[in-house]
């Protein structure tokens, strides 16, 4: 980041039912902050019926444990220079809770307020080959409609050859909580987003 340039603003917006995506979001926040960014960690609202949540103790417990995490709002998207979205897979697509938030952003999109920002995404599925890549690519469709700049992790760090997903950090929740390799991958992805955004911001500042 160049001297005199303000910190990159990064919004990390996620949905998590039992904690996996929350853990990845926190790791991404750590990576972004270490890279010098100002970060807003935000969850999207729970839209599942209370009886569905109550039927799974771990779901209800996670909702209670994260009651202090602020809800994502349109202001967070306007404020951000870069946004990382986190979602579990649902039949190879982003979950309905995150989609509900994204689908509410039409007024921002219509006025061009989502364009020219950097976007990236991370995910988890319960099983291997459970739709991780298709979920991330489905989010990329939205980023294209917004006129966003998509920054995937690719194979730009040795940890990516261990985590194995160039589209975005992903985890198989059925194997247990994310381990250090996946957490490192999430930190790297966020760091790459910050560094790319800072370079873009500096370049734009030089334009006549």
DSSP 126: S
Q: Per DSSP, which regions of 60-187 are E strands?
A: 82-90, 93-94, 118-125, 149-150, 170-172
pLDDT per residue over 32-44, tens digit each? Answer: 999 999 999 999 9
pLDDT per residue over 37-75, tens digit each? Answer: 999 999 999 999 999 999 999 999 999 999 999 999 999
Across the range 75-98, mean pLDDT stands at 98
Q: How many CB atoms lie within 10 A of CB 19?
A: 17
Domains with residue ranges and CATH for the chain:
9-206 (3.40.50.360)
| CB-based contact 16:62 (threshold 8 Å) | yes
Q: % helix / strand / coil in the chain, to the nearest 5? A: 45, 20, 35
Two structure tokens written together for 168: 């975005």
DSSP run (H or E) holding 14: strand 9-14
* pLDDT-derived band at 2, boundaries 50, 70, 90: low
- Between CA 64 and CA 36 the distance in angstroms is 31
Proportion of the chain above pLDDT 90, given as a percent: 95
């Amino acid at each position: 980041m160049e001297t005199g340039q303000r910190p990159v603003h990064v919004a990390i917006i996620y949905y998590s039912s039992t904690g996996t995506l929350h853990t990845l979001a926190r790791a991404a926040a750590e990576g972004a902050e270490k890279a010098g960014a100002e970060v807003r960690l935000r969850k999207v609202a729970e839209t599942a019926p209370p009886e569905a949540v109550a039927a799974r103790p771990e779901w209800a417990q996670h909702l209670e444990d994260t009651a202090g995490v602020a809800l994502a709002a349109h202001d967070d998207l306007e404020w951000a220079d870069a946004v990382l979205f986190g979602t579990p897979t649902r039949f190879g697509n982003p979950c309905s809770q995150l989609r509900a938030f994204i689908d509410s952003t039409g007024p921002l999109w219509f006025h061009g307020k989502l364009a020219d920002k950097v976007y990236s995404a991370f995910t988890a599925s319960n099983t291997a080959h459970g739709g991780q890549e298709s979920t991330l690519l489905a989010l990329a469709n939205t980023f294209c409609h917004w006129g966003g700049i998509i920054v995937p992790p690719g194979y730009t760090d040795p940890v990516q050859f261990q985590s194995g997903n160039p589209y975005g950090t992903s985890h198989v929740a059925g194997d247990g909580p994310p381990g250090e390799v996946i957490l490192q991958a999430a930190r790297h992805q966020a760091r790459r987003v910050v560094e790319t955004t800072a370079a873009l911001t500096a370049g734009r500042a030089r334009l006549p």
